[in-house]
Chains A and B, each alone.
Chain A
Amino acid sequence: MADLLREIEAQISGAKASATKQNVGVIREIADGVARVEGLGDAMLNEMLDLGHGITGLALDLDETEVGVIILGDYTRLEEGDEVRATGKLLQVPVGKGLLGRVVNTLGEPVDGKGPVKSDVAYPVEKIAPGIIRRRPVSQPVQTGIMPIDAMIPIGRGQRELIIGDRSTGKTTICLDTILSQARLNKAAEAAGDRDYRPLYCIYVAIGQKQSNIARILTILEEAGAMPYTIIVASSASDSAANQYLAPFAGAAMGEWFMENGMDALIIYDDLSKHAVAYRQVSLVLKRPSGREAYPGDVFYLHSRLLERAARLGEQYGNGSLTAMPIIETQAGDVSAYIPTNVISITDGQIYLETDLFYQGVRPAISVGLSVSRVGSAAQLKAMKQVAGQLKGDLAQFRELAAFAQFGSELDAKTQAKIDRGKRIVEIFKQPQYSPIPVEVQVVVIWVAQNGYMDDVPIDRVKEYQTRLTEFLTTVKDELLRKIAKERELSPALTKELKALAEQFKESWK
């Protein structure tokens, strides 16, 4: 015991007390998740602040005498006069593969009750996007498993493709289908031991959504076995506007980790309309000047700096990519509103979903005329390009002729044939939700339709024909599908095999 006492005494005498310099301030005013703090003379923009009670704040407005702070947590526990400490750190979130399969909040804290997140790396939430030197053009496809998209509006890795449409038109479903398709492809490549395949990890950012919706999405992904490749960043409608404003940036930081470590990731922002609304609320409470529709002047920069972070990096920079699929909800189909036009101009294309099509039973309700992919065609599979190259034009022509034919006039045989073919293509593009189709199956189905093998199938039986053809392909002609997936283009020999397949199937079709 005497030794122990001597040891403690020796340690006390050897200990040196040091005082660290801290930068502090005092809350002068607090309301609606935003505090004005007096002091904090050395605070940096976007610096994390310790507000006590385990609550973190973010310095967003640096004025001459005070700092505007958004509070990320329960601000009702804070009071005027409370001390605020600067941490010297920019707002950062944990990143890495440890987050896969988890549901986290804006700060990267788990909200799924599965214990702490395993991560020893953190990335800043706000980061400057990769410059032009580090980038390379988009050249690898993102297989969404949705036939009209993969055929006519292809998306490449590193692209920013907007999903736009009214409420309840299937915007989130398209994104979920894409996640499910990636999970299927990732699993297949793992099972086959394919080392050349680059898995695509997905990050789903829910902004201002109902908790029940987020729970439903989580269930769908869990049931389909997609969660091991997915991160969900949840900032629900019950979260503060500050949390909702920061959620997509936190998700982007998580995606950047994959990109900068030579991997591919896909990030879905669901949705940026609610994000703009949350940012407007934060800005108005911070007393920033408002502009059109009361949005602050930098709402364009808010979305452009977020979406610019999606990129495909060059070989010498790891060859990683971050693909972005932002969602915008329009009001009564108005794409010319402020936020939709902003995001349309920032992205590399958009998939426009129409309410009318949705209620006509065309699901996914993609408007072929208004949807476009500006860079994705360079990434499209060559086999798909061979079969679907003319499809967009043909469908546009079909719509024009179909509108003309409504007047009941007699049509010549050629026009009638075009209309009939168009109707069949519209039918094969109908697809139930959460059932992505492998790209090689898509190629065969479109080839069969384009080469007239479906022309004598009644329109109400086209879907049945397609289902049975798919079954025939996956059970009897599995080898052909593997060849298409391997060769990636339709050689004359493969075309010959396709012809034989179509004829063989036709014989069995009744």
Chain B
Amino acid sequence: MKTTKKIRREGKQLFRLCIVNGLLDESRTSEVVKRVIESNRRGHLALLSMFQRWVRLNLAEHTAEVETAAPLPADLRATLQARLENLYGPGTNIQFADRPSLIGGMRVKVGSDVYDGSVQSELAELEKSF
């Protein structure tokens, strides 16, 4: 299925309709999907796929993935949440995950920004320097 310029443009327009005060509005998003499917116009699947891409990128920008080697205590989670909201604005969705392969430290990913303070990455850097 070829994504034409028109579909790309319309997909972006639909996505913009779903933004309220700089944040993605869930109800509007569902409404847009419902209406497009109902319209059954030609190329609506390509349009929805383009719309979904915009939504996915927006969610990634407002989602912080926090990975640690061991589970974090509640107070540290709260501090981290406050700091990330301070940096990336309120409404940042924070997801905590355990990843023992990090060995120690923490890795935070928000959109295309990555803060890597894990032992694994330090070791990789050390290996590179040799």
**Chain A interface (Cβ < 8 Å from any Cβ of B):** 17-25, 38-42, 65
B116–A17 CB distance below 8 A:
no
Indicate whether A24 sits within 8 Å of B114 (C-beta atoms), given known contacts A17-B105, A19-B106: yes
A418 to chain B, nearest CB (A): 66
Which residue on chain A has the smallest CB distance to residue B117?
A19
Q: Which of A17, A18, A23, A40 has the most CB of B within 10 A?
A: A17
B117–A42 CB distance below 8 A:
no
Which residue on chain B has the smallest CB distance to residue A43?
B112
A21–B57 CB distance below 8 A:
no
Indicate whether A41 sits within 8 Å of B113 (C-beta atoms), given known contacts A17-B105, A65-B53, A65-B57: yes
Q: How far is B69's CA from A427's CA once the two chains are assembled, in angstroms?
A: 83
Which residue on chain A has the smallest CB distance to residue B112?
A39
> 7 other contacts beyond A17-B117, A38-B57, with CB at 8 A cut-off?
A19-B106, A19-B116, A21-B114, A39-B60, A40-B112, A41-B113, A65-B53
Residue B71 interfacial (CB < 8 Å): no
Q: How far is B109's CA from A42's CA once the two chains are assembled, in angstroms?
A: 14
B117–A41 CB distance below 8 A:
no
A39–B111 CB distance below 8 A:
yes
Residue B130 interfacial (CB < 8 Å): no
Q: How far is B122's CA from A491's CA once the two chains are assembled, in angstroms?
A: 74
A20–B112 CB distance below 8 A:
no
B76 to chain A, nearest CB (A): 14
A125 to chain B, nearest CB (A): 23
B53–A22 CB distance below 8 A:
no
What are 9 pairs between A and B in contact, CB < 8 Å?
A: A19-B116, A20-B115, A22-B115, A22-B116, A23-B112, A24-B114, A41-B111, A65-B54, A65-B57
A84 to chain B, nearest CB (A): 10
Contacts of B105 in A (CB 8 A): 17, 19
Q: How far is B111's CA from A22's CA once the two chains are assembled, in angstroms?
A: 11
Give how many A-B residue pairs fall within 8 Å (CB-CB): 40
* Chain B 104-130 interface 0/1 with A at a Cβ cutoff of 8 Å (1 = within): 011011011111110000100000000
A14 to chain B, nearest CB (A): 16
B117: which of A18, A24, A65 is its contact (CB, 8 Å)?
Answer: A18
Q: How far is B61's CA from A40's CA once the two chains are assembled, in angstroms?
A: 12
Which residue on chain B has the smallest CB distance to residue A23?
B112
Query: What are the nearest 10 A-B pairs in CB distance?
Result: A19-B117, A39-B112, A41-B112, A19-B115, A22-B114, A24-B114, A17-B117, A40-B112, A23-B112, A21-B115
Interface residues of B in 49-92 (CB under 8 A from A): 53-54, 57, 60
Which residue on chain A has the smallest CB distance to residue B107?
A19
B40 to chain A, nearest CB (A): 27
Contacts of A40 in B (CB 8 A): 112
Contacts of B114 in A (CB 8 A): 21-24
**Chain B interface (Cβ < 8 Å from any Cβ of A):** 53-54, 57, 60, 105-106, 108-109, 111-117, 122
A371 to chain B, nearest CB (A): 47
Contacts of A42 in B (CB 8 A): 112-113
Contacts of A23 in B (CB 8 A): 112-114
Contacts of A41 in B (CB 8 A): 111-113
Contacts of A18 in B (CB 8 A): 117
Contacts of B112 in A (CB 8 A): 23-25, 39-42
B116–A20 CB distance below 8 A:
yes
Contacts of B108 in A (CB 8 A): 19
Q: How far is B57's CA from A41's CA once the two chains are assembled, in angstroms?
A: 11
Q: How far is B1's CA from A447's CA once the two chains are assembled, in angstroms?
A: 74
A146 to chain B, nearest CB (A): 50
B112 to chain A, nearest CB (A): 4
Contacts of B113 in A (CB 8 A): 21-24, 41-42
Q: How far is B117's CA from A18's CA once the two chains are assembled, in angstroms?
A: 6
Contacts of A21 in B (CB 8 A): 113-115
Which residue on chain B has the smallest CB distance to residue A17?
B117
Contacts of B57 in A (CB 8 A): 38, 65
Q: How far is B112's CA from A19's CA once the two chains are assembled, in angstroms?
A: 15
Which residue on chain A has the smallest CB distance to residue B61?
A41
A38 to chain B, nearest CB (A): 7
Contacts of B111 in A (CB 8 A): 39, 41
Q: How far is B111's CA from A38's CA once the two chains are assembled, in angstroms?
A: 10
Which residue on chain A has the smallest CB distance to residue B125?
A20
Contacts of B117 in A (CB 8 A): 17-19
Which residue on chain B has the smallest CB distance to residue A54?
B128
Q: How far is B114's CA from A25's CA once the two chains are assembled, in angstroms?
A: 10
Q: How far is B111's CA from A39's CA once the two chains are assembled, in angstroms?
A: 7
Q: Which of B53, B60, B109, B114 has the most CB of A within 10 A?
A: B114
Which residue on chain A has the smallest CB distance to residue B53?
A65
A186 to chain B, nearest CB (A): 40
Which residue on chain B has the smallest CB distance to residue A64?
B12
Contacts of A17 in B (CB 8 A): 105, 117, 122
Which residue on chain B has the smallest CB distance to residue A38?
B57
Q: How far is B112's CA from A24's CA once the two chains are assembled, in angstroms?
A: 5
A401 to chain B, nearest CB (A): 63
Q: How far is B113's CA from A18's CA once the two chains are assembled, in angstroms?
A: 15
Contacts of B53 in A (CB 8 A): 65
B78 to chain A, nearest CB (A): 19
Q: How far is B116's CA from A23's CA once the two chains are assembled, in angstroms?
A: 11
Which residue on chain B has the smallest CB distance to residue A19?
B117
Which residue on chain B has the smallest CB distance to residue A28?
B53
Q: How far is B109's CA from A20's CA once the two chains are assembled, in angstroms?
A: 12
Q: How far is B114's CA from A17's CA once the two chains are assembled, in angstroms?
A: 16
A171 to chain B, nearest CB (A): 43
A61 to chain B, nearest CB (A): 15
Q: How far is B122's CA from A41's CA once the two chains are assembled, in angstroms?
A: 24
Contacts of B116 in A (CB 8 A): 19-20, 22
B5 to chain A, nearest CB (A): 11
Q: How far is B61's CA from A65's CA once the two chains are assembled, in angstroms?
A: 11
Which residue on chain A has the smallest CB distance to residue B57?
A65
Contacts of A20 in B (CB 8 A): 115-116
Which residue on chain B has the smallest CB distance to residue A26?
B112
